[in-house]
Structure 1
């Protein structure tokens, strides 16, 4: 509650001022008398202190002199001299004051040397100088002076004794004589010293009584005068108080008088009692803040607003003005409370409306009946940049147009005038001249007669939401990585192209594009490089598109292209050739130059299908045929392709069952030493006895097993079967030949591969040196750094490693430096045309030279005639495989050929142990 001083109380203050001054005078007089009494007491204390010191010094001097006379101790003499000096100093100061002409500072110094209390020295000097004749003071001074001669005689005796001891030890008679004199002088001094002390003590008591009576009389006289004056003043005030009380109780506002110090109510008028539900006298003694709801009081300028609570629970808002006054000497706060409940309610409604207007994120415009702007909120200024002073001279519809650029139609105002609310998108302008899309809502405020008094327009900048919607629509219809259309958008465009072709009896074609060996790029470089490569591919596809063409990425490395406006589907061949040429050009991705190829399948409307789904499926089947037969080419769809696709699906299901039913078996193709023709090894080849299709070769089901994730199970079966077969041959006492088996990249790079090898060796009990794992260059490339670790671990076990099909992959000489490689297998593609092809001759001779320099054993595949055999033998190849020696044979045939005592005709192949 704010406090102000009330100027109307000043006359009363002036009337009470004499009482205050009188009281101050009484208090001042008492203080002065008390101070004087204290000074006198301090002086008497000084006298008593001086007397005590003087008496002590006199007594101690007599004792020290008597001791000196007895034993001549110089220390005793020195102590006597010190005490005598105290007596002499006090006596000198006393006599100097009595003389009337003295040096005040020297006297003060003498008393201080004598040990007198410094605060009492001025009073002692004053009393000795001016009041030596006071009762008890005069006799005390007389006693003090009466012993001066005796003290001087003691000093003379000290001098005589000092002279006697200086000449030798005095006689006993001399010492006794001097001690007798000392005792006589002490008998003279002692009564007078005691009388001096008594006189001083009696004087102090007498003076204390005099001072007390004086102070009491003066205080009583002053108080009586003050009370007489107060009676006259208060009699005049009482009449004024009665008149004030009448005004106080009849006031329409509640008035409460509050003790400023303690906050307690001293009085209240009848209005305050009525508002609180209490009698005014019941309010007296209560704390002022107890009348209000806790925490409701708040400052409002020079006043305070709070919630006044009555006994019955009724609460009203009151505004309190207070002024500080005094009741006598008591500070009192006069609090005047006015009921402002109605005003607070109105202000709250206005504040809520104003805060709501200011805080909403949408811009708000309030205009008059002529649509001229009267008020805008901060959000409107932030959105448009226009300030209220500028807009007050304009109609708010002047800066807005319909999306097509036309002015807002009159129908809007008619709708709003009839009580409706118009909401729509408009084009609006900012203060910098830029335009933006805006959602505008217009409503009207009417007067009591129903006429439009104001328009309220709410605006929202929908630039971002429109952009988000467009971006979302784009994302829904396009691939996030490449920006091409996605599957659903592509099908929509494809349907439109089919409808257009149907109207003009034309054609449309769908091309299904799949990148060749894209997985190797991901595995070799990284998926990030793979993504950048897909973006490059999309750019090149988009570069070849025509006006009626659409491209999409439907997943992974698969793209589709729709060619519209064709006369026949065969026209798509020209586009497919251009696209293959474009995609085969090197692509620079960061620091890498990557060369890719693609396989394309083509299906056309109306020959290959009449709807997008069918055309895409048929183009996919054609693409698979292109990838299977040749790669980096295109194929048109034929119905037979779908039969092949269905056959692949059926074969995949049969492959899973084949593993369960154990439909696989092994055949072994011997590997002979070219120089001697002896069998030194055999390669294990897997076969599948299909229950319906008969025996299937690996080329028919191994790629399918890799795509279905079954290749590791096949490799594990093969490894167990090979180990078991070697164990059976060992039991039959056959020569210990080496057996090679192929390992896929998925198996070779698996973390559990080495453990599975160890388990198979342990279960069969064969030597690790009997095994040879063949791995292709492409598998080494896919495995990366893990290849060398696995090879090193196998080599440590004693298992051999061979690079299979060398020369058909990347032919990197870095592979040959990997630890653990023992064999190099030359692919059959380099053997087929030997010795007639000069290129093949040069390549094979180079491979053999490299292998020889690295200490590797070479094995040539696909030897089918004597000319190939003779060339490889003379070129330095170590071993060979092929139909010239033998096809893949069942284990029993290998056992018959290697048996030391064959029961059939001897074979031209002779068995030799491996070197």
Structure 2
């Protein structure tokens, strides 16, 4: 999402030192859009500051607080509000937001204080008090608390109050003599005195008469627990009373114990078995189910009957020692099948006898999960083939121990041609289905000693140890190519791609994994350059090209640091009246040895397109800076045109670089034109409309460069928001004598006129070409036969001479 114009202005005007504020801070508009977020706010949210701008910060704002916040903001006056943030790491934070209304900027300066610790502490204290009350109110124990100064009751649970025929609220505030009576108070006073003097718990028995007539008396066990301060002084005492009425209490306790044990055993999902001297005395249903029998079948059997033979000695040793421990072992069920388990062994005393209790935990699910984790760590989740790391390990192991007979090891690098189009047109579901099918076919075609992996995207690798020679390796690659290119059925349609395969051999083409992979990759790209859908075996000349490419990449990075790049500016003129329509900025490299190089001489030979992104960003900034120079000098604000065809900048990277360049130079709307190559646009596929829409939002018009090379369907031209296009220079070179080229050019010019678009001819090197194009109705012309490319200073002189006294009419201008 692009920030609105207002937030962008506010961010630019943010006071210096904003990000040095030690507290999280936000600048919010009255409609809750974030105009600025400082570093402390980004740290609190767990997101980059840029991701919080606009409505981006809503992602961390708890929905239940939004209405209150929006209402407070809409009032446009100072306020304080507690909000909740759902941080990016999933942690919930309570925050006090203090907002100061700034009328001059029409926004709020908001300081946020993380009060999560305090909030949680309050909640913990409330929860602790609630838990104590819940526990005290539900325990079968009479509980009260008396302060020591006047022996006044401060708390009584319902059971305690009910014993004396009162409500809890009626007990609090009374002395213990008022609660239990003077006679009882005198009876227990010695125990109270002992507790206060000794400052320890004092317990005693007390009898209460039962209901009359002939009521059975109740026996109570009373414990007085002193509440001591840090200096040992007693603040008060807890009174804990348990009913220990003879026989009934004992019977109830036994019955309760037996019930708890029975419920525990039956409620447990794990097996539990009790045995005495090795003979099973009791077990629960899960234990019986684990070994495949019934409780009746297993009672009286010896536990060692169910231990796997290889684990028998260890289990016997544990039983003989009477040890209490946990360990993994293996049992067998009634059918003799082995089951991995964990034993948790405990000893219980019952009278004079000792019982052994063993909890038996089935480990099959855990081991299956561990195997799944191991599988995920070494295999691609989509295809099941080895992942990059596991394949490289396998390759290195094979190279460390090559076949004893000296036969070569073949490494195949496979890439699917135009796979991106399937993803863009049919969605990732179709792409994933195709990748799974390709992975399965590669796995099925492998010999027993072979291995295959997926390196990511649509790249696969295959290892074939012990091939006879390069001919056998090429034949194996052809078989794989034939297997992969068979159509795949998905969603009622057939999906098909062709593979390009590169082959490298050990030891002929490399003796280590990295070299073999690079050389197989080089062979692959040589096959792609030759037309795709081919098998190419590595040749030494390809290695030279790789080394030259790597050297060029290193030189390119150093050249950018040394400032060896510069722009040449070439006017593009209107064919109708010869007035300038735009100025194209041509990126050149002032090479220390080779002189001034055009982009085609270096950019097209870089194997890593990401290395060109800093260069593209520099070209954008420099083109806008040069244009600002002639605009500040009073010359007409002609748009500057920059071609990114050779710089291989993809959509997201392009939008990011443009946003930074435009923010730095702040040019007028429409001051920048971009020329994107037809093949570059075709590769964007379904994402192309989104890219063009993003450029439109930035105020940048787009021209299609090199129309006529193929790659982009002409039917798409009327759907895309293009300002126009330029013709393929190879068509211009053939004019005016080549009748076929002339027919193609006329049709493309007619198409542009029919759609109301501008059409330009670049690379016009001869007067005959220029005159023919003017007669054919071409809108704009550029080339040495029109105006040569100039250094920035020379262009200023050309403009000052009056050559650029007007721009094109709006109807034909990009």
Normalised-by-shorter TM-score class: 0.5 to 0.7
SS of 1:479's equivalent? coil
User: Quick check: which one's helix share is greater?
Assistant: 1
Shift of 1:482: 2.6
Match of residue 386 from structure 1: 293
Tell whether the 8 Å contact from 2:767 to 2:785 is kept in structure 1 after alignment: yes
How far is 1:577 from its partner?
3.8
- Provide closer, same or farther for how the CA distance between residues 388 and 571 of structure 1 changes in structure 2, counting only shifts above 3 A: same
SS in 1 for 2:717: helix
- 1:203-602 aligned within 5 A: 285-286=183-184, 333=216, 362-367=270-275, 372-381=279-288, 383-384=290-291, 386-392=293-299, 394-398=301-305, 400=306, 402=308, 411=313, 415=317, 419=321, 425-426=329-330, 428-429=332-333, 435=337, 437-439=339-341, 441=343, 458-498=359-399, 501-515=402-416, 531=432, 534-580=435-481, 599-602=500-503
Partner of 1:750: 655
Distance 2:268 2:190 in 1: 35
Give the Cα–Cα distance (whole angstroms) in 1 for the partners of residues 456 and 720 of structure 2: 40
Q: What is the aligned partner in structure 2 of residue 615 from structure 1?
A: 516
Which one has more relative contact order, counting CA pairs under 8 Å at least 6 apart?
Answer: 1
Cα RMSD after superposing both structures = 5.8
Normalised by the length of structure 1, the TM-score is 0.51
In structure 2, distance between residues paired with 1:416 and 1:646: 66
- Relative distance call for 1:784 and 1:570 in structure 2 (3 A) is same
* 2:311–2:330 Cα contact (<8 Å) kept: no
Structure 1 residues 633 and 334, CA, compared in 2 at 3 Å: closer, same or farther?
closer
Whether the 8 Å contact between 1:663 and 1:689 is mirrored in structure 2 is yes
Which residue in 2 is equivalent to 1:719?
A: 623
The residue that corresponds to 1:707 in the other structure is 610
Deviations 1:420-439 (A, max 9, x none): 87966435337xx7956232
Whether contact under 8 Å (1:425, 1:439) holds in the other structure is: yes
1:474 CA drift (Å): 0.9
The reply on whether 1:685 has 2:552 as its aligned counterpart is no
Counterpart in 1 of 2:725?
824
Shift of 1:517: 6.2
Deviations 1:290-320 (A, max 9, x none): 79999xxxxxxxxxxxxxxxx99775889x9
- 1:274 is aligned to none
5+ residue gaps in structure 2? 1-162, 166-180, 193-198, 220-243, 810-814
Distance 1:413 1:914 in 2: 95
CA distance 1:692–1:611, change in 2 (3 Å): same
Question: Offset of 1:479 from its aligned partner?
Answer: 1.5
Structure 1: gaps (5+ residues): 1-260, 264-282, 295-310, 903-909
Shift of 1:800: 6.5
Alpha-carbon distance in structure 1 between the residues aligned to 2:660 and 2:377:
48
Deviations 1:656-713 (A, max 9, x none): 5544543222234565777999987664321011335543331355465851332552
Return the offset for 1:607.
2.0
Is the alpha carbon distance of 1:359 and 1:291 closer, same or farther for their aligned partners in structure 2, counting shifts above 3 Å? farther
**Alpha-carbon shift at residue 597 of structure 1 (Å):** 5.5
Q: Indicate how the Cα distance of structure 1 residues 812 and 446 shifts in structure 2: closer, same or farther if over 3 A, else same.
A: closer
Task: State the TM-score, normalized to the length of structure 2.
Answer: 0.56
Q: CA deviation at 1:508?
A: 1.3
Deviations 1:505-542 (A, max 9, x none): 21212223345666677677766665555445434543
SS for the counterpart of 1:572 is helix
Structure 2 counterpart SS, 1:481? coil
The C-alpha deviation readout for 1:560-604, integer Å capped at 9, x for no partner, is 221223112443323434545565666676699876565544322
Residues 650 and 715 of structure 1: is their aligned pair in 2 closer, same or farther, counting only changes over 3 Å? same
Q: Give deviations 1:55-107, integer Å, cap 9, x for gaps.
A: xxxxxxxxxxxxxxxxxxxxxxxxxxxxxxxxxxxxxxxxxxxxxxxxxxxxx
Tell me the distance in 2 between the aligned counterparts of 1:312 and 1:670: 100
How many residues of Structure 1 are paired with residues of Structure 2 in the alignment? Answer: 590
Pick from 641, 657, 662: which aligns with 2:563? 662
The answer to whether the 8 A contact 1:702-1:711 is kept is no
- Contact (CA 8 Å) 1:671, 1:681: kept in 2 or not? yes
